[in-house]
């Protein structure tokens, strides 16, 4: 088991900046905006041959009122409970605040190892401003600048010395893997966890769905659009399979995105969709299928991701409303007829089993291996069943096919005069291949390669 370090403190003291510095990523959104982080955010930090888990948390603010702030505090308390060591961050330039005393009192009661980290201390080492933080009674103060990296490595080395658990030797594992033989990138991707992004409009129930899967309040859920601001990745194991669940921020219409924070959230969501292997598109049944739902579905299709449509809050509709929603789904998402639609209630944990079956089926279809011999035979059978029409005086002649890629599956067809194949015939071929390989829940792309005429240009 890897040791865990939790970053805690008041809002806007630089926890997410230090998280990105330690993990050498840009996973956490950083901006000069208090209360930006709301959920626990996990990452892996390395120091030489050693590694450990770092947890970014939301700011603790005792004076803040409201249920959402209470839930944010609950997430932070859970991170502290999981941690082997706590980095309590304070802002040197803002000075000591009353809330710092409250946090320090709570940490002293727990009795866990705590490092008092004074951030934004560039050029202030030995300054008198650091001395006031001795009032917190947490021992030595470690000045750093998370934004510039000053003192961060020394802090990391000190944390590694105080961690109670032995850290794994990453280099030894790498050497063992090399001795066994290097795997291809494709094999490594297949061996890794299946990445599932949960996307949709704000307040559709994305975080509630992930919490229902996990069986715990892992993510902050609140009846307010925009509760989730970052793309939160959560490891999950089901029936012996490893998954990585990615909760994303809700996507609104471009004209309604004003804050820079929300623009960053949109970018993170789009990146999560592109990096996922299966996307669960959550639609709020009480609102219906909106234009924005169609836009999100269109981006998923352009990205080539496998997709399952989850109609959430289905239990809140009567029979007439369900019929209207079904018509709206057929009309607005007609371009995603290949996607499986499941009706669920994330809050009541209804329909989650069939949803998982659809996710596994979509992933299997997206990574399906199609032998060249079988593809060519199916192509020839399709041409015999329905020959393509003549175009420009020549009849297209598809000759053979092979697989050109996975996730999404790509079928490359070779032949003569294939430019004359119309869209209707390509849709016929797509349906033919889908039925043969049971490609449900994934886009299918067909590429045409026309053989050059060796006699072109000769008299």
247 marked among binding-site residues: yes
12 marked among binding-site residues: yes
341 falls in which pLDDT band (50, 70, 90)?
Answer: very high
In this predicted structure, what is the pLDDT of residue 176?
A: 42
Whether 120 shows a pLDDT value over 70: the answer reads: yes
59 marked among binding-site residues: yes
75 falls in which pLDDT band (50, 70, 90)?
Answer: low
Same fold, 3-162 and 194-367: yes
249 marked among binding-site residues: yes
Q: Convert 341-379 into a string of H (helix), E (strand) and C (coil).
A: EEECECCCCECHHHHHHHHHHHHHHHCCCCCHHHHHHHH
13 marked among binding-site residues: yes
Q: Which residue has the higher pLDDT, 229 or 354?
A: 354
In this predicted structure, what is the pLDDT of residue 161?
A: 86
120 marked among binding-site residues: yes
The pLDDT mean for the chain works out to: 79
281 marked among binding-site residues: no
48 marked among binding-site residues: no
Given the candidates 3.40.50.300, 3.50.50.60, 1.10.10.10, 2.120.10.30, the CATH classification of the domain at 194-367 is 3.40.50.300
Domain positions in the chain = 3-162, 194-367, 372-450
60 marked among binding-site residues: yes
| Polymer length of the chain | 459
Whether 315 shows a pLDDT value over 80: the answer reads: yes
15 marked among binding-site residues: yes
Whether 180 shows a pLDDT value over 50: the answer reads: no
Whether 258 shows a pLDDT value over 60: the answer reads: no
Alpha-carbon gap, residue 94 to 238, rounded angstroms: 46
16 marked among binding-site residues: yes
Give me the numbers of helices (H) and strands (E) for the chain, helices first please.
13, 15
202 marked among binding-site residues: yes
Share of residues in the chain with pLDDT > 90 (%): 29
50 falls in which pLDDT band (50, 70, 90)?
Answer: confident
Q: Which residue has the higher pLDDT, 316 or 417?
A: 316
Share of residues in the chain with pLDDT > 70 (%): 76
122 marked among binding-site residues: yes
Q: Which residues contact 247 (CB under 8 A, 6 or more apart)?
A: 39, 198, 206, 207, 210, 219, 228, 231, 232, 234
In this predicted structure, what is the pLDDT of residue 188?
A: 40
Min mean pLDDT across 72-81, 128-137, 269-278, 395-404 is at 72-81
Class of domain 372-450: alpha beta
**Is 135 within 8 Å of 105 (Cβ atoms)?**
no
Whether domain 3-162 has CATH 1.20.1290.10 = no
In this predicted structure, what is the pLDDT of residue 217?
A: 66
Q: Please, is 28 exposed, middle or buried when counting C-beta atoms within 10 Å of its C-beta (0-12, 13-18, 19+)?
A: buried
407 marked among binding-site residues: no
58 marked among binding-site residues: yes
Alpha-carbon gap, residue 44 to 139, rounded angstroms: 27
119 marked among binding-site residues: yes
11 marked among binding-site residues: yes
250 marked among binding-site residues: yes
315 marked among binding-site residues: yes
Whether 405 shows a pLDDT value over 50: the answer reads: yes
416 marked among binding-site residues: no
211 marked among binding-site residues: no
251 marked among binding-site residues: yes
């Amino acid at each position: 088991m890897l040791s865990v370090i939790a970053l805690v403190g008041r809002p806007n003291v630089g926890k997410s900046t230090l998280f990105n510095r330690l993990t050498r990523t840009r996973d956490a959104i950083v901006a000069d905006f208090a209360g930006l982080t709301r959920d626990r955010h996990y990452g892996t930090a390395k120091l030489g041959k050693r590694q450990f888990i770092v947890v970014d948390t939301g700011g603790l603010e005792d004076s803040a009122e409201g249920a959402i702030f209470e839930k944010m505090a609950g997430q932070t308390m859970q991170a502290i409970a999981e941690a082997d060591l706590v980095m309590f961050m304070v802002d040197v330039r803002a000075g000591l605040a009353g809330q710092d005393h409250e946090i320090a009192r709570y940490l002293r009661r727990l009795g866990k190892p705590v490092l008092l980290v004074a951030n934004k201390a560039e050029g202030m080492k030995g300054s008198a401003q650091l001395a006031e933080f001795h009032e917190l009674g947490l021992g030595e103060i470690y000045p750093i600048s998370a934004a510039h990296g000053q003192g961060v490595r020394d802090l990391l080395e000190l944390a590694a010395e105080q961690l109670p658990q032995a850290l794994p030797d990453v280099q030894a594992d790498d050497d063992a893997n090399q001795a066994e033989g290097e795997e291809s990138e494709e094999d490594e991707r297949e061996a890794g966890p299946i990445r599932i992004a949960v996307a949709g409009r704000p307040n559709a129930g994305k975080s509630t769905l992930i919490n229902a899967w996990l069986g715990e309040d892992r993510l902050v859920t609140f009846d307010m659009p925009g509760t989730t601001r970052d793309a939160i990745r959560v490891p999950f194991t089901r029936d012996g399979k490893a998954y990585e669940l990615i909760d994303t921020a809700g996507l609104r219409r471009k004209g309604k995105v004003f804050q820079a924070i929300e623009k960053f959230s949109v970018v993170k969501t789009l990146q999560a969709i592109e990096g996922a292997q299966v996307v669960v598109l959550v639609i709020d049944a009480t609102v219906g299928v909106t234009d924005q739902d169609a836009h999100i579905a269109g981006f998923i299709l352009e990205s080539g991701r496998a997709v399952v449509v989850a109609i959430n809050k289905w239990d809140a509709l009567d029979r007439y409303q369900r019929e209207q929603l079904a018509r709206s789904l057929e009309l607005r998402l007609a371009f995603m007829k290949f996607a499986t639609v499941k009706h669920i209630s994330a809050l009541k944990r209804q329909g989650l089993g069939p949803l998982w079956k659809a996710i596994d089926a979509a992933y299997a279809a997206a990574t399906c291996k199609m032998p060249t011999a079988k593809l060519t035979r199916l192509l020839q059978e399709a041409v015999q069943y329905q020959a393509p029409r003549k175009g420009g005086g020549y009849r297209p002649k598809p000759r053979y096919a092979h697989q050109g890629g996975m996730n999404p599956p790509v079928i490359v067809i070779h032949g003569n005069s294939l430019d004359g194949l119309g869209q209707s015939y390509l849709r016929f071929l797509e349906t033919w291949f889908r039925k043969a390989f049971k490609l449900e829940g994934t886009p299918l792309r067909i590429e045409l390669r026309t053989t050059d005429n060796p006699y072109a240009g000769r008299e």
